[in-house]
Structure 1
Amino acid sequence: MQKLQLLGGITPAQFLRDYWHKKPLLIRNAIPGFKPLLSLGDLASLASQNHVESRLIVKTDGSWDMLHGPIEALPPHDQREWTMLVQGVNLYNEAAEALLRQFRFIPDARLDDLMISYATDGGGVGPHFDSYDVFLLQAQGRRRWKISAQKDLTLVEGLPLKILANFEPDEEFVLEPGDMLYLPPHYAHDGVAEGECMTYSVGFRSPSFQELGENFLQFMADSIDLPGRYADPGLTPAKNPAEIPREMLSTIAEELNKVRFTEDDITIFLGEYLSEPKHNVFFTGPENPLTMGRFVSAAGKKGVALSPKTLMLYRGKNLFINGESFAVSRTDKAVLAALADERALDGEAVAGASEDVLEALYAWYTDGWIVLR
């Protein structure tokens, strides 16, 4: 596998073996000559929109305040110690989307989003830890990072932010544009801006098993089939009227134990769950959509591409897109898996697709899930 400058000249396999979930990696000049993909004005414009997740964090005389977006106005540029965080920038900016996709040596099922942090001098979010892996790419200015492998993750009570109470750094780095720092989950860190700065954070999905379990049970509720109704034709007079009869308990337990789930059930649940867009993601189809015939003709020449907002996964015969699942034939799967892996199909691939695939592509086009290239 090819070595990547993005990973400091090691291969993805080496990175995953030696660093992923294990220890930090500082990468100098990970992206040579890197410059911010959005101006502060563009970032502030995103943060002012209702459907974009954003936060404004201000530290004044040692006290922390946090405002959730939409953010209508920013503090003055010459005011120290404030930070604006904007999540999911890849959903709204093609260059940010392209940057995020450079990290696809990690499966899409784990890749989450690109967050941009803008801070004035001294700005940050305090010493903290994340429950997921993160790459911190410096985009503008300088940020001083202090990190620690400490096991004490006690938080300060009563603050709007999750700030570590007993942070004791082990190492310290200053990152300049193009430098990047990888941190595994639960690794304590504190980043402070030295002058005006922007940092890009590539985060990864790490759902709790509790969250997965609760959602899986809701998913399975639609497929449970337990015919019949409780009855007790052999009932005898109750000695203790308020006591649940043992026979009732055993009969119902026997019926509930008939509930079973298979690996295929888990596959479909997981594919739909992981491909479900976040609550604040909305799709808009073309204002004047082409007819089916014209779409097929245009797509057969130009090809199609997934919208940056679209999440598409597959496993076995099952295809998942934006929370929906389909069982597909082997031939159709080859085309649709290529679309999922490459996030695009060229005209030749579209032209050779089956009628079922073309109908699906057209439906996704009218919904805004894919676009003509």
Structure 2
Amino acid sequence: MEYHADINWPDFIQRYWQKRPVVLKRGIKDFVDPISPDELAGLAMENEVDSRLVSHLDGKWQVSHGPFQSYDHLSESNWSLLVQAVNHWHQPAAALMRPFRALPDWRTDDLMISFSVPGGGVGPHLDQYDVFIIQGTGRRRWRVGEKTTLKQHCPHPDLLQVDPFEAIIDEELEPGDILYIPPGFPHEGYSLENSLNYSVGFRAPSGREMISGFADYVLQRELGSQRYSDPDVPQREHPADILPQEVDKLREMMLGLISQPEQFKEWLGEFISQSRHELDVAPPEPPYQPDEIYDALKQGDKLARLGGLRVLRIGEDVYANGEKINSPHRPALEALASHIVLSGEMFGDALEDPSFLAMLAALVNSGYWFFED
């Protein structure tokens, strides 16, 4: 199913994006759930899927992590099942990510889906990323507060909450309604009846994550091997002193690694195109031969991108899941990055190049793209 968000994106970005929370009533008209509660519960029983159960009974918060064996012990109220990165594992649910491609792909993270019974929720909290919460089946009440300094506490080791707050938004969401919350705005939602919620989250890398990722890149490639040198070592009054010019020179050595544009671009492409969650990679058996790929595309078959696969472009270079895709056929590379579903025509004359076909076959045989049924 195709979903369309009734959002004026230029106006939304100017007024709300990273500025103010807002409820978009009937943001997706005639909304139909792409997944059932039973299907979601089944995903949470899989080893590879990140899931958790959060309950609030007798004044105590409890958190347990999947995979789950059974749900027979659960009551009829005050719990939620949350499953991360459902777009990686469930193709119909992955379609919910597409209406938000008005925002950059590299900022998009994953689709978290929660099923809650009456009273179910995770308590008042705040996030450090943008999120669009789409209401599915059922009704859920949401409260959002002003962005301010709030004391955080842990009622459970796996649960970080904030103190009570004054609400600037207090609404019941119905199917198709969208709640947008920028980073840092406290919020809480609890279910009024059995309900499904779909959270499209956005990635916001921290400086710490980027420094750590770049350090890994430098070590893997054995870069930065040049050592400090000082043939004209300056005199100083105290041997223990490190002089300001020496501090500057050491800092410049480090900045010099990051300041090389091509090297930084290659690292960024690899770093930012990696998924934070496991992908449902299923390489075809037997693997495709390049001529089979050619014949299938020429006959009208279409290649679909694996759910959750991050395909990003920097300049003319395209990266997928931490790897650069090497090819001189720029329009074909642009098609790989721009389209979720690909037809043969989108590749143009690249399909006549055996080297491109071999590369495309390698991507399909890696499980990154697959032929639609």
TM tier relative to shorter chain? 0.7 to 0.9
Residue matched to 1:257? 253
Is this contact kept in 2: 1:313–1:340, CA < 8 A? yes
Root-mean-square deviation (CA, aligned residues, Å) is 2.8
Q: Which moved more, 1:55-64 or 1:221-230?
A: 221-230
SS of corresponding position for 2:33: coil
- 2:16 is equivalent to residue 33 of structure 1: no
- For residue 91 of structure 1, the aligned residue among 88, 91, 98 is 88
| Range with bigger deviation, 136-145 or 292-301 | 292-301
Shift of residue 166, structure 1, vs aligned partner? 3.5
The alignment of Structure 1 onto Structure 2 pairs a total of residues equal to: 357
Deviations 1:44-92 (A, max 9, x none): 1100111101010011111100011112222556521000001111111
- CA distance, structure 1, for counterparts of residue 312 and residue 63 of structure 2: 36
Given the alignment of the two structures, is residue 214 of structure 1 paired with residue 212 of structure 2, yes or no?
Answer: yes
Percent identity, aligned pairs only? 32
Distance 2:205 2:253 in 1: 27
1:140, CA displacement in angstroms? Answer: 0.9
Secondary structure of 2:162's aligned partner: coil
Secondary structure in 1 matching 2:175: coil
Letter in 2 for 1:311: R
Q: Measure how far apart 1:226 and its partner are.
A: 3.4
Could you say which residue in structure 2 is the equivalent of 1:226?
225
Task: Name the CA shift for 1:303/1:351 in 2 (closer, same or farther; >3 Å).
Answer: farther
Which consecutive unaligned segments of at least 5 residues does structure 2 have?
Answer: none
CA drift at 1:343:
2.1
One-letter code aligned to 1:367? S
Equivalent pair of 1:54/1:84 in contact (CA under 8 Å): yes
Q: Distance in 1 between matches of 2:357 and 2:56?
A: 54
Residue 6 of structure 1 is matched in structure 2 by 5
1:135 and 2:132 matched: yes
Matched, 1:170 2:168: yes
Write the letter of the residue equivalent to 2:349: G
Shift of 1:130: 1.0
Return the letter of the residue paired with 2:49. V
Instruction: Give the superposition deviation at 1:34.
Output: 1.4
* Aligned counterparts of 1:158 and 1:344: Cα–Cα separation in 2: 45
Cα deviation per residue 1:293-320 (whole Å; 9 max; x = unaligned)? 2222112332422211421111113210
More displaced stretch, 68-77 vs 363-372: 68-77
Q: Is 2:187 the partner of 1:185?
A: no
* 1:365 shift after superposition: 1.0
d(CA) in 1 for partners of 2:163 and 2:260?
45
Confirm whether residue 156 of structure 1 aligns to residue 162 of structure 2: no
Q: Structure 2 residue aligned with 1:50, among 22, 47, 58? A: 47
Residues 241-285 of structure 1 show CA distances to partners (whole Å, capped at 9, x for unaligned) of xx88989x969x679828433222222112111111335325221
Larger displacement relative to structure 2 (257-266 or 272-281): 257-266
Kindly provide the CA deviation profile for residues 149-203 of structure 1, in whole angstroms up to 9, marking residues without a partner as x.
1412211245231111232323310011111111111111110100211111111
d(CA) in 1 for partners of 2:181, 2:269: 27
Instruction: Please report the TM-score for the alignment, with normalisation by the length of structure 2.
Output: 0.87
Residues 341-356 of structure 1: pairs in structure 2 closer than 5 A: 341-350=338-347, 352-353=349-350, 354-356=353-355
CA distance in 2 between partners of 1:298 and 1:198 (Å): 38
User: 2:294 is matched with which residue: 274, 292, 296?
Assistant: 296
Aligned partners of 1:209 and 1:246: how far apart in 2?
Answer: 27
1:77/1:157 Cα in 2 relative to 1: closer, same or farther (>3 Å)? Answer: closer
**Which moved further from structure 2: 46-55 or 24-33?**
24-33
Q: Give structure 1 stretches of 5+ with no counterpart.
A: 235-239
Structure 1 residues 156-165 or 53-62, which shifts more? 156-165
Contact 2:113/2:197 (<8 A) preserved: yes
| Farther off after superposition, 296-305 or 20-29 | 296-305
Q: 1:88 to 1:275 in 2, by over 3 A?
A: same
> CA 1:327–1:124 in structure 2 vs 1: closer, same or farther (change >3 Å)?
same
Q: Secondary structure at 1:55's aligned position in 2? A: strand
Match of 2:102 among 98, 101, 105: 105
Instruction: Tell me the equivalent position of 1:202.
Output: 200
Partner of 2:13: 16
User: In 2, are the aligned partners of 1:317 and 1:328 still within 8 Å (CA)?
Assistant: no
Any conservation in 1 of the 2:218–2:224 contact (CA below 8 Å)?
Answer: no
1:35 Cα deviation (Å)? 2.6
Q: CA deviation at 1:287?
A: 1.8
**Is the Cα contact below 8 Å between 1:6 and 1:30 reproduced in 2?**
yes
Alpha-carbon distance in structure 1 between the residues aligned to 2:129 and 2:183 = 4
Q: Whole-Å Cα distance in 2 between the matches of residues 317 and 65 of structure 1?
A: 49
The TM-score, its normalising length taken from structure 1, stands at: 0.87
Contact 1:132 1:203 in 2 (8 A): yes
Q: Is residue 266 of structure 2 the alignment partner of residue 268 of structure 1?
A: yes
